[in-house]
Every structure is written in C-alpha cells, then in structure tokens.
Amino acid sequence: MINTIYILWLRQLKRYFRSTPRIVGSLGQPLLFLLALGFGLGPVFQKAGEGNYLEFLAPGIIGMSIIFTAIFSGIEVIWDKEFGFLKETLVAPVSRLSIMLGRTLGGATVAIFQGLIVFIISLLIGFHFQSLLLLPLAFVYMAFIAILFTSIGTAIASVLEDMQGFQLIINFLVMPLFFLSGALFPLENSPKPLMVLASLDPLSYGIDGLRGTLIGLTYYGLLPDFLILSAITILILALGSYLFSKIQI
C-alpha cells in the first residue's frame, strides 16, 4: 500500500515539474490579486484604520493559490478515465484506497509547492510574517487546505465523466468559498448573514489559521481553526475515498 501511494505521489510531482508553462500560468491570478488589490486598495484599507492591506491580504492569496491548484487536480482523474490510465491502475492488485491516497497526497503536495511560491513572491514585494516559531504551523494549515480541496476535486471528478461539467461545478463552488472565507476582507463587523455563511465555509478556518500564524491576526482562534479544519479535512477525505472506490471501469 505504501509503495502504491509513493508511486502515485511521485507521478503527480513529475507531472507538475515537467510543465513549466503550467507553473508560470498558475501564478498569474495570485500576482494580480497581490499587486492590484494589495497596493491599489492599501491606502483605503489603511485610512479605515485596518493597517497594512498587503499584510492582511497575502495569507488569503496564498490560500487561494493552494485551493485552485488542489481542486483542479481532480481534472486528472477525468483525464485518466478518458485515456484509460485509470482503468489500468484500478485493475491492479492494490486497494483503491491506496490509489486515492496517493493521488490526493500528490495533488496536495503540488498545491503546497504552489502556495510556497506565492509566499516567497509575497515576501519579495513587501510582506513580512510575524513569528519564525509559528511558520511551521502555517505550513500545517497550508497542508490541510491542500488535502481538503484535493479531496473535494477527487470526489467531484469521481462522479463526473467530462471535463466541461467538472469545470462548471468547480467554478460554481470555488469562487463562493474563496470570497466568503474572509481572504479579501476582515470578518469583524461584517453583516451577520455574511458572518454566518463564512462560518459554514471550511476555507474560512484555513485562511484564518494562516493569517493567525503569519501575522498574528485571527478571528476564530488558532485552536478552533485547527480542530474544525482538521475534522472537515478528514471527513471530506473519507467521502472522496468512498466515491473514488465506486468508480465504474
């Protein structure tokens, strides 16, 4: 089982590092948000008494780069369905659970790499994290976000047959999750319906945890963020494993 997980994890990494245009292209949206919003709305944010907007925004954009990379890894499941690679994998004498875990961990690792690249870019344009001691915990939150959204992408791809349907569902799902997570605005003093929706959004706890570990600003608290995010990640990972095990070949 461990050998299968390792092979599929390594395969995902090879796909990622062989595609330089994919790496560069996936940085376009995070860079646009960081530069256009971070510097464009910075003076407005500061006049409102909220401090440096780039410092506030960077954790949210790091999370954004992770979730988009992670969830779109599900397309590879549909791709492999269409071209027969998934069938060859599923008929092998290994458990589907190990196959799903290998693919999920591979996709999550790729998403974490993407998040680290955006983190480094953020540092280069003026972002400063608060504590070196909390930095490893920030990477833990990044890992949870990556595993959670890779599992969501795999779960959705397991019940779909075409890439167009996958992209429509993902766009319908991801953008509301991102905008409601507090990645772009403080949740404090927001309208109550918005705060309720944000509390139902699993990404809110990931972004809040990242922001708390990187700049010391948290809305829910680091411990609630960790407990809720880890519980939801385990739940979605289990759901994704179940749906993947039901794929018909």
Tell me the pLDDT tens digit for each residue of 172-206: 888 888 888 888 888 887 788 888 888 899 999 99
Highest-pLDDT range among 28-32, 61-65, 166-170 = 61-65
* pLDDT exceeds cutoff 70 at 167: yes
- What is the CA angle 69-107-70, rounded to 5? 25
Report the distance separating Cα 133 and Cα 130, nearest Å.
Answer: 9
Are 12 and 109 in contact, with CB atoms under 8 Å apart?
yes
pLDDT at 174: 84
**pLDDT at residue 146 in the model:** 92
- The residue-averaged pLDDT of 33-55 equals 73
Q: What is the pLDDT of residue 188?
A: 81
Q: What is the pTM of this model?
A: 0.87
Among 54-63, 145-154, 239-248, which stretch is predicted with the lowest mean pLDDT? 239-248
Q: State both tokens at 117.
A: 């690249």
CA 226/CA 205 separation, integer angstroms: 7
- Pull the structure tokens for residue 5: 């997980």
CB 160 within 8 A of CB 74: no
What confidence category does residue 137 fall into, taking pLDDT thresholds of 50, 70 and 90?
very high
CB 4 within 8 A of CB 98: yes
For the record, the structure tokens of 28 come out as 């376009």
Measured distance CA(42)–CA(208) in Å, rounded: 20
Tens digits of residue pLDDT in 81-108: 766 666 666 666 666 677 777 778 888 8
Rounded percentage of the chain residues whose pLDDT exceeds 70:
78
